[in-house]
Amino acid sequence: MWPLSPSSAFLLLAIVVPSDFYLNRGFTQWFHWAAIYYSLTQWQFLERFQILSGCSICLGWYASLVYEFVQYGRFCHPLYKNMPTSLMQFYLRDVEGNGSTQGQQMLDFESTKALLALTMAHILDLLAHPLLTYYFWRRHTTKGGTIKQVVAWPVIAAAYLYSRLWSLTHTKYNTGNFDLWYFGFDIYVMDSLDSWYPAYIAETCFYGGIIILKLNEIWSKKLLHASAKKDCFETKPKLLLSESSVSIESHSS
Convert 58-70 into a string of H (helix), E (strand) and C (coil).
Answer: HHHHHHHHHHHHH
- The answer to whether residue 253 scores a pLDDT higher than 90 is no
Which amino acid does the sequence have at 253? S
pLDDT at 221: 85
DSSP labels, 99-116: GGGTT-EEE--SSHHHHH
Convert the pLDDT of each residue in 75-127 to its tens digit: 999 999 999 999 999 999 887 765 555 557 899 999 999 999 999 999 999 99
Q: What interhelical angle do 153-175 and 44-72 show, nearest 10?
A: 60
pLDDT at 97: 61
The C-alpha angle 173, 59, 13, rounded to 5 degrees, equals: 45
What distance in Å separates the CA atoms of residue 203 and residue 61, rounded to the nearest whole number?
9
CB 58 within 8 A of CB 208: no
pTM for the model: 0.85
More confident residue, 244 or 92: 92
- The answer to whether residue 242 scores a pLDDT higher than 60 is no
What distance in Å separates the CA atoms of residue 180 and residue 171, rounded to the nearest whole number?
8
| Residue in 185, 180, 76 with CA at minimum distance from that of residue 126 | 76
DSSP-derived 3-state class of residue 93: strand
What distance in Å separates the CA atoms of residue 34 and residue 128, rounded to the nearest whole number?
13
| Residue in 48, 17, 39 with CA at minimum distance from that of residue 155 | 48
Q: What interhelical angle do 27-41 and 6-16 show, nearest 10?
A: 130
More confident residue, 229 or 145: 145
Helices (H), the chain: 6-16, 27-41, 44-72, 77-80, 85-88, 112-126, 132-142, 147-150, 153-175, 196-234, 243-252
Convert the pLDDT of each residue in 178-219 to its tens digit: 999 999 999 999 999 999 999 999 999 999 999 999 999 999
- The answer to whether residue 173 scores a pLDDT higher than 90 is yes
**pLDDT averaged over the chain?**
90
Q: Domain limits of the chain? A: 6-70+138-234
CB 191 within 8 A of CB 72: yes
pLDDT at 103: 58
What distance in Å separates the CA atoms of residue 183 and residue 196, rounded to the nearest whole number?
7
- The answer to whether residue 252 scores a pLDDT higher than 80 is no
The percentage of residues in the chain with a pLDDT greater than 90, rounded to a whole number, is: 80
